[in-house]
Structure 1
Amino acid sequence: MYLERLLKNPMDVTAGLWRHVWFQVGVVVAVSIAAGMLVSRDVPLWLFFGGIAGIVVVAIAFIKPEYVAAALLVIHWGNIHDVLIKYHGIPSVVKLMVALLTVVLLARRFLSERPRGLVSDPVIWWMLAYLVVGATGLWFARDTDAVLSRLVDTAKDGVIAGLIFNLLSTRAAFERAVWGLLIVGAVLSALTVYQEMTKTYDNNYWGFAQAAVRQISTTMDDRARAFGTVNDPNYFGQLLLVLVPLAVWAILNGRTWRGKSFGMAALLLLLAAIGLTFSRGAYLGAVVVLVVYAMYLRLDARYLLILPLIGALLYVAPPEFRARFGTLDEVLPGNNAGAYADSSIQGRSVKAEVAIAIVADNPIFGVGRGNYRLHYRDYINEIEGAGSNTERDAHNLYLEVAAEQGIVGLVVFVGLLATVWGRLRAAELLFVAAGERRMADLSVAVKVGLLGYLVTSLFLHGAYGYMLWLQVGMAVALVVIAQREAAAHADHAVKASR
């Protein structure tokens, strides 16, 4: 009885309960007993406050689940939960939030007096098809445990994507999540910039600004590169890159000067931190993202004022940045001397050769998800110039998918990406038809961010695949919002014509 009323009118039920003295006394007594037990047993403070926070989150999840869904998106995107686990011993908050939101979503669907249907979209079928194709590796892969592990990870990411497009399905909720992403991106970038300014590379700032010495170029000494919250500078650059068009959107569409100013600050911090990763793929992706988004927006001349600010960033950038950026020409066709002068590029070319050879020998379903590393050892000694028997990754998402899941898996993966891209285009057109230019621009920003991810994936494998699935969830959420906005606009037009 109370559960159904809570699901139907959570705010009214909660307010009604709080008006009763017995309820207030019960809450105070319960909190006091819990605090006394924790203190008397010398329980860590983080567990005590974490328990209180957990109770608050549970309450919010039933009252305003979109707030928790936005927090899930932000925390997961920034890989904050991984930092809390590794550096602070705090259990995965993402798993807890996913479990809680799943219960809330199912309760709203099956226990409420007015059940809310779950979102249905063509993207979901492509997600399921990708899982099914990957599961075929359980029958023939050399390491079936690796296949199963990847499948479980993809299924988890798919569930999170489903929670996002089911719960962030209103304009306010989605915009709130976007601003949250920009905040976490700006904060992580600011820590990285501060670390560079103070040269405190040995201080990881509670795990949120990791750094390590890596190669810059053959003509310059190695130096510290920013890792942020992930274990690789290239993936940190990719993580930040997707947020760049969202920052541009905030500059152009912020409702107040404070919002526009924050967008500007976030953009400059994101670009600065991407520079400090010294990731050539992220550099190339940033250029593509900014150029493509600028072409779409047909920017007013006054927005060109941002160029001097970007120029100032380049002026104060470390000399290693220019050296690293200059090595991009070594990957261009016809420059074989440069390609073999850089050991990183040479290694990636060998890994690509191995992936192509694996596809040639296993063209239909590949060798099984997560099994490229094992087969790399078999192929490496057959390739001229190779001298390593160690396990390596493909360093190219598309070649990795082709090698591990064959042509069938690659076709399904490309179909998924094309469908997501098409859904973002559909959202843009629906918003334009409804006269919602602000949301249309946001749809394009998400689409351009996805483009940046796809460009950088030419140089990276799927180690942090959750980034893609979060974007899939955001894309479907935008379509759901656009469909509702368009339907409301059509209803309003019909009523106005009568």
Structure 2
Amino acid sequence: MLIIYLASMVTARDQLIAAHTILISVLGGLLALTVHSICDSAARWRILLTVLVAVGSLVAVYGFATGGAVQTQAAGAGALSGRAVGVFTDPNQLGTFSAAMMMVAWGLALGTRIWQLRSLAIACAVLSAMSLIVSFSRGAWLGALAGTVVLIVVTVKYHRKMSLQILVFTAAVGIPVSLAAAPQIVTLVSERLSSILEPGSNPNDNRPFIYREAFRQVLQHPLLGQGPGNFPATSQLAERIGTAVEAVHAHNLLLQVASEAGLIAVAVLIAFVAGLARRTQRAWTMLPRSEAVVVLGLACALLSVLVQGIVDYTLGNPILYYLVWAIIGALFAVTQRVETMSKSLTSERTMQ
């Protein structure tokens, strides 16, 4: 992917932005490698995840506290004001963080027998769910739903009771607190969900035109794209179609990658995701259940980001970008034993 990004600089309209984006990408990859190399034992990756859920809990508390008096700006709650943002610049970014941390914490809670760590993980999951709700991020809600369904379905045979307890505790704490903070939250959430099927419901965020602009950029430079980080600059050009777009991002993960780095980069990304899915599947069948469920939680966190990426793009925020790379590094660290076991099995078969 780095080679593709470097090649994409040839078509970049703003070389400085492209170089800055590549630097951020390199640092993200180095973060994942660092996490993978440092967390070379179960004790170390558990410490990492403990720190992660502790920080996630604090971010979630602050995120929930930043929610204001939510008001509708368009019919059907397509646009809202007063949404919680936390330490981020956009409510959807808080939603991404909350959904991902909820999955990480849930998996850790199912995979540990240390009651202090389990309590911390459950608290993080509950607090993240609460901040997720008040972010009113429809894409993040869909991502969290996808991750929750996968996590429950896959683990129902082994962790049904604990998952049910987490869900009940989340509802028992989250619903009353959310209602106290925003009495109209039930109506707003239901209207917000119904507006998912109306992509043009937000007059300040006309996604159909943004998607058309993204496709235009892809067709203009299908192989290498417009250059890393150059979607906004390109969208401001006079050859835009239909209307003045001036979008910050493409509101779709694959369109964002395709418009900035080309279709080859999209193929590499899909292959990488498929590799992570394969690694997760092997870990579930080969690792002890206590470790395998942690891997599943990490994978579901990434799944939540991917699902939200169907309707939004929030990885332009460095915190979220590095969070994703840290989760990837943790997933590789926890599944390192799988690769060792696979190599041993391959060697034994070769000798036979």
User: In which range does the TM-score fall when normalised by the shorter chain?
Assistant: 0.7 to 0.9
**1:456 matched to which residue of 2?**
308
Could you say what secondary structure the match of 1:340 adopts? coil
Q: Does 1:258 align with 2:116?
A: yes
Counterpart-to-counterpart distance in 2, 1:405 and 1:190: 37
Kept after mapping to 2: 8 A contact 1:244/1:270 = yes
Kept after mapping to 2: 8 A contact 1:242/1:452 = yes
Q: How far is 1:380 from its partner? A: 7.0
Closer/same/farther in 2, CA of residues 363 and 342 from structure 1, 3 Å limit: same
Kept after mapping to 1: 8 A contact 2:11/2:224 = no
Q: How far is 1:449 from its partner? A: 1.0
**2:192 matched to which residue of 1?**
327
Aligned residues: 335
Aligned counterparts, 1:378-457, within 5 A: 378=237, 381-383=240-242, 386=243, 388=244, 390-431=246-287, 436-457=288-309
**2:99 matched to which residue of 1?**
241
Counterpart of 2:270 in structure 1: which amino acid?
A: V
The normalised TM-score by structure 2 is 0.84
**1:276 matched to which residue of 2?**
134
Aligned counterparts, 1:37-436, within 5 A: 130-194=1-65, 218=75, 222-298=80-156, 299-301=159-161, 303-312=163-172, 313-317=174-178, 318=182, 319-320=184-185, 322-332=187-197, 338-344=198-204, 347-378=206-237, 381-383=240-242, 386=243, 388=244, 390-431=246-287, 436=288
Q: How far is 1:349 from its partner? A: 2.1
Counterpart-to-counterpart distance in 2, 1:139 and 1:149: 15
Higher relative contact order, structure no. (Cα contacts within 8 Å, ≥ 6 residues apart): 2
Closer/same/farther in 2, CA of residues 416 and 316 from structure 1, 3 Å limit: same
Counterpart of 1:448 in structure 2: which amino acid?
A: C
Residues 127-157 of structure 1, C-alpha deviation per residue, up to 9 Å, x if partnerless?
xxx0101111222322222221111111111
Counterpart of 2:232 in structure 1: which amino acid?
A: R
Q: How far is 1:216 from its partner? A: 6.5
Closer/same/farther in 2, CA of residues 228 and 164 from structure 1, 3 Å limit: same
Q: How far is 1:445 from its partner? A: 1.0
Could you say what secondary structure the match of 1:242 adopts? helix
Q: How far is 1:484 from its partner? A: 4.8
Query: Which runs of 5 or more residues in structure 1 are unaligned?
Result: 1-129, 202-211, 333-337, 491-498
Kept after mapping to 2: 8 A contact 1:351/1:392 = no
Q: How far is 1:242 from its partner? A: 1.2
Could you say what secondary structure the match of 2:265 adopts? helix
Closer/same/farther in 2, CA of residues 375 and 487 from structure 1, 3 Å limit: closer
Counterpart of 2:193 in structure 1: which amino acid?
A: L
Query: Which runs of 5 or more residues in structure 2 are unaligned?
Result: 347-352
Counterpart-to-counterpart distance in 1, 2:11 and 2:70: 40
Closer/same/farther in 2, CA of residues 460 and 282 from structure 1, 3 Å limit: same
Q: Which has the larger radius of gyration?
A: 1
Q: How far is 1:374 from its partner? A: 1.8
Counterpart-to-counterpart distance in 1, 2:343 and 2:43: 17
Q: Percent same amino acid at aligned positions?
A: 22
**1:88 matched to which residue of 2?**
none
Closer/same/farther in 2, CA of residues 359 and 155 from structure 1, 3 Å limit: same
Could you say what secondary structure the match of 2:83 adopts? strand
Counterpart of 1:369 in structure 2: which amino acid?
A: P
Counterpart-to-counterpart distance in 2, 1:213 and 1:311: 21
Kept after mapping to 2: 8 A contact 1:359/1:406 = yes
Counterpart-to-counterpart distance in 2, 1:377 and 1:480: 45
Could you say what secondary structure the match of 1:243 adopts? helix
Counterpart-to-counterpart distance in 2, 1:274 and 1:161: 25
